[in-house]
């Protein structure tokens, strides 16, 4: 399982019937998954034979998707001089995405709480106006 691929090796697997992608410097054979991909085959074909780390992380795949990905692993990427640089560092992307999503979650709860309180007070105000009329 510790087979190493060069970027050129991966780039030669860019068709629907032979599709490799690189995510966090690991090489995955996604050929069998093309027709099953929930986002459609075009999404995979667009990144076929390339480093798909940024596209994969931008979508925010579920734990189940990551488990499926683990089953498709065929080796690791051996970067060489002249290869495209990774757009997302493997360690940094995991840390920054988890902390930013946590911050958004707390902010979202605050907005929902404030909105609920505003709705409650607006309802009470409307009831008092109706009672006076």
* pLDDT digit string (tens) for the chain, length 133 residues: 569 999 899 999 989 999 999 999 999 999 999 888 988 888 899 998 999 888 888 888 888 989 999 999 999 988 878 777 776 654 444 444 444 555 567 778 888 889 999 999 999 999 998 888 7
Considering the domain 3-77, what is its CATH architecture? Roll (3.10)
**Domain definitions of the chain by residue range:** 3-77, 91-133
Residue count (the chain): 133
Neighbours of 108 (CB within 10 A): 10
The CA distance from 68 to 81, in Å, is 31
Q: Is the pTM of this model over 0.85?
A: no
Contact status, residue 39 vs residue 50, Cβ threshold 8 Å: no
Cβ neighbors of 83 (< 8 A, separation 6 or more) are 6, 7
């Amino acid at each position: 399982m510790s087979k190493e691929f060069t970027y050129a090796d991966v780039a030669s697997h860019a068709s629907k019937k032979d599709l490799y992608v690189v995510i966090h410097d690991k090489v995955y054979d996604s050929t069998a998954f093309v027709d099953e991909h929930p986002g459609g085959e075009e999404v995979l074909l667009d990144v076929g034979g390339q480093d798909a780390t940024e596209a994969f992380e931008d979508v925010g795949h579920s734990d189940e998707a990551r488990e499926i990905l683990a089953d498709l692993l065929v080796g690791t990427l051996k970067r060489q001089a002249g290869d495209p640089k990774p757009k997302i560092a493997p360690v940094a992307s995991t840390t920054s995405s988890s902390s930013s999503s946590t911050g958004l979650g707390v902010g979202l709860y605050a907005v929902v709480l404030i909105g609920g309180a505003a709705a409650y007070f607006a309802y009470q105000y409307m009831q008092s106006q109706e009672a006076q009329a």
